[in-house]
Structure 1
Amino acid sequence: MPYVLEDRTGVMAMSDFDDIYDRLFLRVTPHPHPPDGNNNVWAIYTMGRRSSRHNDARHLDRHPSVILEFATGPGGGLGTVHFVQPPAASLSIPMSRYLRKTALFGGSLYRKFTGSDGQEYRWLYKGMDGHEWTCLTGENFLVAHYNLRSSNMPAFNVSGNTLTINEAFAHLSIDIMASLTIMRYIAEHNL
């Protein structure tokens, strides 16, 4: 069964991603202690249990799995991704090298990355029907997809925003969350 994570808010820098079957719980939030005073630093946490519908501060008692340090200045920009929890502990990579364009003159919203398992994956923006973002293997197997609820769809006690990760790729959930967050940042800031 795939992991279906409800993105509680749809807001890139502040949301909980909770699996509907209570197997995986991730949080993306501004880093509580940004390095060098950079206020454009986000952290991804593995939470261990479902978040409450109210703001909670449990992440402050944890170490983040990933720190996304975006460049500061007008319009922002790409910066550095820091993997601080296993399996890729203490690994820092410039975001432009971590998420590379798939073709020299290709669009910015089609990028590839190397996962913590050493395999190459790629993100496509609206590259498949029914998916806003799609992550595929090099052999075109579906790894994950992400969709924001359209404004004309009703929501009944759920946000309607979902990140679906195929069960065979659940071990890449941190890689998928980090790369998706950067891809969404690239799209929002036209980088």
Structure 2
Amino acid sequence: MLQGPLPYVFEDRTGAHTSSDFDDIYDRLFFHVATAPQRAVMIYSMNRRSSRHRDSQPIQHTPSAILEFLPDGTLGNMSFMHAAGTVTIPMVRYLRKTSLFGRSLSRKFLCSDGREYKWVNRSVEGQEWTCTNADNFLVAHYDLKPADVRAYGVSGNNLTIYEAFAHLTLEILASFIVMRHIQQYNL
């Protein structure tokens, strides 16, 4: 017997934060992440499992979010496309360090629901990245494939977002991609 709703478990197709597909294993939500010219990363909300139906043609619809990085790898702007218009904010204002002298891999951000969330790298054993809310409730986590487990057609890494926070999936995914960029460039 199942206890509560199932979390969204997104298979990370390639493991690369600038070019991958994040497909829910229960076929509920699908995202395609692609690098565009000028160091921008586009996040597309897809209607189907993009990793199974990859087209050779570029995607013809508007991205749901755009993450713009500067030529030297530093943080630029992030934009979210909504029906009411586009919201653009500098990444350094969106993802703020949790303390003045804190680790750069621990950052908080404010979501569209008005609540604050926090990403931390390797704070929980078995989770590469952990996202919690202000009440320290687990919102999402990113897990790497164990070295002794084979993966077929995917990286074996998964982003899990708990059902109560599914309405924030795009913001959680976008902030997660920026956090991985911060880690890669040691920002």
TM-score, normalization by structure 2: 0.91
CA-to-aligned-CA distance 1:41-75 (integer Å, 9 cap, x gap):
110010011014474257621110110000113xx
Select 2:8's aligned residue among 3, 9, 12.
Answer: 3
The alignment-based identity, stated in percent, is 54
CA-to-aligned-CA distance 1:96-136 (integer Å, 9 cap, x gap):
00000001110100000001111100001001111100000
User: Who is 2:113 aligned against?
Assistant: 117
Matched residue SS, 2:164: helix
User: Who is 1:145 aligned against?
Assistant: 141
Q: Structure 1 residues 52 and 100, CA, compared in 2 at 3 Å: closer, same or farther? A: closer
Q: Structure 1 residues 185 and 85, CA, compared in 2 at 3 Å: closer, same or farther? A: same
User: Who is 2:50 aligned against?
Assistant: 51
Q: CA RMSD in A?
A: 1.7
Q: Structure 1 residues 116 and 10, CA, compared in 2 at 3 Å: closer, same or farther? A: same
User: Who is 1:78 aligned against?
Assistant: 75
TM-score, normalization by structure 1: 0.89
The runs of 4+ residues in structure 1 deviating greater than 3 Å are 52-55
Which ranges in structure 2 are unaligned for 5 or more consecutive residues? 1-5
Q: Structure 1 residues 59 and 166, CA, compared in 2 at 3 Å: closer, same or farther? A: farther
Select 2:22's aligned residue among 1, 17, 20.
Answer: 17
